[in-house]
Chains A and B, each alone.
Chain A
Amino acid sequence: MKPLNLIALLLFIASTVWVLTLGETTVRSIQKTFYSVISPFIRGGATLETTAAEFIQEAEHSKIWEERYKLAKADLDQTRMEIAHLRKIEIENAELNKALSFKQNEPFQVLPAKIIRRQPSTWWQTVTINLGENNNIGVQLPVLSAEGLVGKIDTTSPNTSTVLLLTDESCQVSAKIDGTPEVGILSGIRGRTGESPLLRLNYLSKGASIEPGMMVYTTGRGGLFPEGILLGTIESYESGPLSGEALVKPAVDFKTLKIVFVKHTNPLDSPRLPEK
């Protein structure tokens, strides 16, 4: 081998080993810088993609009416979700007052965001939304829709964010089955991302009485997702030698999803009441 090629090969190996041993913080920092640089192009590409999609639909819908419909739909979805959450708080309030132990809930605030790009990566189930660090969006924040949980924020740039969808294998959610004491971990299934993606609910009790159609909600444990967000309904349950596993149909229709809500808590907006 030529000396120059040998030196190049050794340098390449050394550099690759160095990159492979980088820590999580450094990697996130690199990704943040990368997305900051590429953010205008992501938005440009997303605009082009949206324009192309709207052009195809032009024959069926007037553009103006479509915009108005989108705005109205966003308002309606936001209102529906807030009402649903208020009802939940109302019930919770009644229960807590009944037990004479009042504990104030975390303020539940959401920011509406538009999905500007679908499936930016080959393998991961992700979408890009039009909110970023400039809108106080940070990583790991839960993303919701009027129907239920959508996923969580994975990476951010100044103007855009990547949302890891619930249908991805690496998005795990602590979940409970309504009407039962069963609690497990919900995640997507590798390869099941076609017309009807299903989710897998693991670590359930062996021989648990779980019926198809039962509702699955978030437990609020684990520090990532708030409690009581709808995840889906049980499709089937299978009891194994050590634990049970259920297939769950997601509550959210990910194919038609256009508007999502990023949940964030801002303690400054709603002063916290002292616990009694």
Chain B
Amino acid sequence: MVQQYLPAIPSLYGARVLILPLVFLCSAVSVNFATMLVLAFICGFLWDAQHLLGEHGGDPDVYTHPVDSLRFGYSIILYAVMGLLMQSIQPLFKKGVWHISSLLAGLCIFLYLFAEYLIINFVRGDFTFPSVTFYRIYLTGAVTMLCSPIIFWIIFQLATYCRYTIEYHGLKKHPKYTNTCD
């Protein structure tokens, strides 16, 4: 909903603050693995529902080579990959080093858009990467990263309000028994 109030900035090659991915990334670093996957699914689903184009339509005898569109749901996978990247620095975040998370959020947005553009090129063929596209990806990552401290601040406030403690559990199973022979 907030994303609808954030237009593209024409003077910055059409870059914009991507608030939904940013909220997801900031949340991904502060929750456990299972919750991150749930968030990735919801955010990716909503993202595709808003942004995916419909089929071309028209007479297939005339439009014999329609431009392939992306599959609904591809963003879910990209969100999950971004979430995994963010989870990798959870120990640092737990120690209070949120600056790294902020930088990584910007990098993740850049990688997400770059991957999305590569997928478009892969699906449609004829790879092109004009400088305008690079600037749009880069500046979108940069302006979104600048907003990340605000999102982290809101998350910290919510965590305090809900008495939630950010803990690092990791993916590895903790051993039930410890070797005390030594």
Residue positions of A touching B, CB distance < 8 A: 1-5, 7-9, 11-12, 15-16, 19-20, 22, 24, 27-28, 30-31, 34-35, 38, 41-42, 44-46, 48-49, 117-124, 139-140, 154-155, 164, 169-172, 174, 185, 187, 190-194, 221-224
Inter-chain contacts of A5 with B (CB < 8 A): 32-34, 171
CB-based nearest A residue for B129? A191
* In the bound complex, CA of A221 to CA of B113 (Å): 36
B50 within 8 A of A: yes
Q: How many residues of B contact A (CB 8 A)?
A: 61
CB of A169 within 8 A of CB of B124, answer yes
CB of A15 within 8 A of CB of B53, answer no
Inter-chain contacts of A24 with B (CB < 8 A): 54-55
CB of B133 within 8 A of CB of A191, answer yes
Which of B54, B76, B171 lies at the interface centre, i.e. has the most chain A CB atoms within 10 A of its CB? B54
Given A16-B73, A169-B67, A191-B133, does the pair A45, B5 have CB atoms closer than 8 Å? yes
Given A8-B34, A222-B59, A222-B63, does the pair A155, B54 have CB atoms closer than 8 Å? yes
B130 within 8 A of A: yes
* In the bound complex, CA of A4 to CA of B174 (Å): 13
Chain B positions 139-182 with a Cβ under 8 Å from a chain A Cβ: 140, 169, 171-173
Nearest CB of A to B70, in Å? 9
CB-based nearest B residue for A39? B4
B52 within 8 A of A: yes
CB of B54 within 8 A of CB of A8, answer no
Q: Which listed residue (A27, A171, A190) contacts B52, Cβ 8 A?
A: A27
Inter-chain contacts of B133 with A (CB < 8 A): 191
* In the bound complex, CA of A154 to CA of B56 (Å): 9
Nearest CB of A to B165, in Å? 18
A-B CB contacts (within 8 Å), total count: 151
Inter-chain contacts of B4 with A (CB < 8 A): 38, 41-42, 44-46
Q: Which listed residue (B6, B37, B45, B59) contacts A19, Cβ 8 A?
A: B45
Which of A9, A16, A49 lies at the interface centre, i.e. has the most chain B CB atoms within 10 A of its CB? A16
* In the bound complex, CA of A11 to CA of B34 (Å): 10
CB of B132 within 8 A of CB of A191, answer yes
* In the bound complex, CA of A132 to CA of B114 (Å): 33
Inter-chain contacts of B59 with A (CB < 8 A): 221-223
List 10 additional A-B contacts (Cβ < 8 Å) besides A49-B7, A119-B7.
A2-B172, A16-B41, A27-B52, A41-B4, A41-B5, A45-B4, A119-B8, A124-B51, A155-B54, A172-B56
Closest 7 CB pairs of A and B: A8-B34, A19-B73, A45-B4, A222-B62, A191-B130, A34-B49, A170-B67
CB of A194 within 8 A of CB of B62, answer no
Inter-chain contacts of A119 with B (CB < 8 A): 7-8, 14
Which of A5, A46, A120 lies at the interface centre, i.e. has the most chain B CB atoms within 10 A of its CB? A5
Residue positions of B touching A, CB distance < 8 A: 1, 4-8, 10, 14, 16, 18, 32-34, 37-38, 40-41, 45-46, 49-59, 62-63, 65-67, 69, 71-74, 76-77, 80, 113, 116-117, 120-121, 124, 126, 128-130, 132-133, 136, 140, 169, 171-173
CB of A221 within 8 A of CB of B62, answer yes
Q: Which listed residue (B37, B65, B130) contacts A185, Cβ 8 A?
A: B65
* In the bound complex, CA of A11 to CA of B173 (Å): 19
Nearest CB of B to A199, in Å? 13
Which of B45, B52, B80 lies at the interface centre, i.e. has the most chain A CB atoms within 10 A of its CB? B52
Given A1-B171, A118-B7, A122-B140, does the pair A194, B132 have CB atoms closer than 8 Å? yes
* In the bound complex, CA of A171 to CA of B66 (Å): 9
Q: Which listed residue (A2, A28, A174) contacts B62, Cβ 8 A?
A: A174
Nearest CB of B to A5, in Å? 5
Nearest CB of A to B178, in Å? 18
Given A16-B77, A27-B72, A30-B49, does the pair A139, B54 have CB atoms closer than 8 Å? yes
Given A42-B4, A222-B59, does the pair A172, B66 have CB atoms closer than 8 Å? yes
